[in-house]
Chain A
Amino acid sequence: MSAESADATDATGGGAARPAPEPAGPERIADSASFRRLVVGLPFVWLVLLFLVPFLLVLKISLSTLALGQPPYEPVFPLAEIASFGERLRELSLDNYLFLTDDPLYLDSLISSLVTAGVSTALALLVAYPFALGLARAPERIRPLLLVLTILPFWTSFLIRVYAWMGILRNEGFLNQLLLRLGLIDQPLVILNTNAAVLIGIVYSYLPFMVLPIYASLERQDPRLLEAAADLGSPPARAFWQVTFPLSLPGVLAGCLLVFIPAVGEFVIPDLLGGSETLMIGKTLWNEFFINRDWPVASAVAVVLLVLLVGPILLLQRARGSAGAGSL
């Protein structure tokens, strides 16, 4: 046990990234202390290796200048030149970030992404709340089954499900066929490759992330509260807004953030379902990396996006904290 934990703490590498040493105090049982170090250490190593290091790489690239070559940027810190560290540091430039403000494309796609994410979050909430309420009020016997059905689509590849939507939304697709047959429309609706298709795709894909936290907060509510509200003269519809909804707000907030944050950076759905008009920051990022091969600017976009989303993520953490552990 102790050997393993020693490895784990060593593997955290750079001194700065090491977890804070335990506060000095009376010696505790060695086993439990090393076990604690292991438990805290493993996820820490994971985060450092797979999140912090890549992020630092992206940050470094974003501060470099574009070059035509392989890799397509000027390395600022060739590892052989540790000696000229200070000199090299001066070569770092914020030009890429300044460039982002010059070209309206980036601001436009950011705003468009935020709008798309906001609208799809609102739509997902409208769909998910009655869904979650139905789940929470369903007979206890069939609730597990309904929950399994809710998350069942996750067992199929996300890409395949988005492709399926292409089949449904196409001009000659399932939806148009149905509407034509029913005589509701004369002309097929053009949905695929529009922003509407992007919204449908996002709402569909992220719906369980909205349903589950709302369900968790509704399911925990004491049914006596509604009886008390009725007893005090509140008819059912009013009691919903006075009692049920306010008490589910932590779940609603958690669900909204769980949908909004990934939706802002969503790339696959706008790429497959959206059209040329669809402007999303994720797509712009992709284009910058792989079409323009301007890695420094693309990295700068990525860094800016991350910084912008840290705020909502912190909010999510707080919401989860107040909703209590186990909301998701």
Chain B
Amino acid sequence: MSALGEARPQPASAGRSLGSIRRSFAPWADPAEVPLIEFARVSKRFGSFAAVSELDLAIYRREFHALLGPSGCGKSTLLRMLAGFEEPTSGEVRLDGQTLNGIPPHKRPVNMMFQSYALFPHMSVEKNVEFGLKQDGMARSERSERVAEMLKLVKLEPFRNRKPAQLSGGQQQRVALARSLAKRPKVLLLDEPLGALDKKLREETQFELMDLQQSLGLTFLIVTHDQEEAMTMADRISVMREGRIAQVGTPETVYEAPASRYVAEFVGGVNILSGTVAERRGDRVRLAVPGGIVEADVPAVSGLRPGSPAVFAVRPEKLRIARQAPADPGVNAFRGEVWDIAYLGDMTLFNARLPGGEILKAATVNAARASAEPLGYEEEVWLTFAPDAGVVLPE
């Protein structure tokens, strides 16, 4: 919830803030940039089930990329095709310009951190981390140096001789991370890496992963179904649906300018007002929706014609909720009564019921500790928003 419209918290430990580095990081906008990972018209079928369909995706060096979607949307299959555990039915997976098709997992320069961690239970922490280095025939002295470095990185030096079963969930997660980073892979694949941690530890670990990715200069590809996690960590998010990518973009783009109703509804809370286009004037469009008129800014190129069905999607925190009627109650203003109130601490969510029965969600930030006249249940309220508060999407 706290991710809604809130400034992204910065880790206190790093000397330079991540934001300053990341703000200028946008290789996907540079046509000269060559992607590190490419999925080219990749499909994967299991029997008659299409897990991934004709998918194209390019991921760039040093990018932190998140594959976001509900379970069964094909995000894990995509990750496993990159790791080599699944072969695409058709299409090509490329890394650094070279095809990965047909290359077995043990010969691919990518490493994976498993959801269940998949630590070797018969080996100590140290041996687990060393495992990948041993396979490459690295010299013993170099190996122990790298293991020590990795254990220091994840702060597990005192536990080097423990078996995985003797560690807490958070410590096991760190071993898994150290093990997958030890070989300095070109890409680190993370399959729901924080799913087993409790909320507080998960949030801490998210920032640690971001710091780590920045300081090691690696490319991370993470699979998650948690939109908040994806938005916190990723440079770009691929929102997936039924084996296809619904939208690729920065967290801001995906949240503020969703490409479809599906993306708008999957990422964060949203109010959907469906209606028909009443009037189009340049980049301003008027929608007739139940309970009122919506006037919204749209890009001039979008093909909305009068009479065509469309939806207006607006985030709850973009709605103003007040007792007073606005100056122009005819446009972008809806009258309703307070139906539900959820006090979340940092903000309060209101569900307002319109005369037609539709529910609009509005969120207010609790900037002051107490309000003189808080809104109560069944009070009559006005919900208003600016023309640029939401997006108009084809139905």
Residues of chain A touching chain B, judged by Cβ–Cβ distance below 8 Å, are 222, 224-225, 227-236, 238-239, 242-243, 246-247
Contact = CB atoms under 8 A, between A and B. Distances in A.
B71 interface: no
B114 A224 contact: yes
B135 A232 contact: yes
Contact of B118 (A222, A236, A246): A222
Contacts of B74: none
Contact of B104 (A230, A238, A242, A243): A230
6 contacts: A228-B119, A229-B106, A231-B83, A231-B106, A231-B110, A234-B135
Contacts of B116: 222, 224
A228 B114 contact: yes
B183 interface: yes
Contacts of B85: 227, 230
Looking at chain B, what size class is its interface with the partner chain?
Answer: 20 to 34
Nearest to B115: A224
Contact of A230 (B84, B120, B180): B84
A231 B106 CA distance: 5
Given A227-B85, A246-B122, A247-B121, A233 B114 contact: no
Interface in B101-148: 104-108, 110-112, 114, 116, 118-122, 131-132, 135-136
Interface of B: 83-85, 104-108, 110-112, 114, 116, 118-122, 131-132, 135-136, 179-180, 183
B110 to A, nearest CB: 8
B120 A235 contact: no
Given A222-B116, A224-B116, A235 B106 contact: yes
A243 B111 CA distance: 18
B202 to A, nearest CB: 21
B114 A232 contact: no
A238 to B, nearest CB: 8
Given A228-B119, A232-B131, A238-B135, 18 more contacts: A222-B116, A224-B116, A224-B118, A228-B114, A228-B118, A228-B179, A229-B131, A231-B110, A231-B111, A231-B112, A231-B180, A232-B111, A232-B132, A232-B179, A233-B136, A233-B183, A234-B135, A235-B104
A234 B104 CA distance: 10
A321 to B, nearest CB: 15
B106 A230 contact: yes
Contacts of B135: 232-234, 238
Contacts of A234: 106, 131, 135
B114 A243 contact: no
B185 to A, nearest CB: 9
Nearest to A228: B118
B136 to A, nearest CB: 6
Contacts of A235: 104, 106
A200 B111 CA distance: 47
A234 B132 CA distance: 8
Contacts of B110: 231
Contacts of B180: 231-232
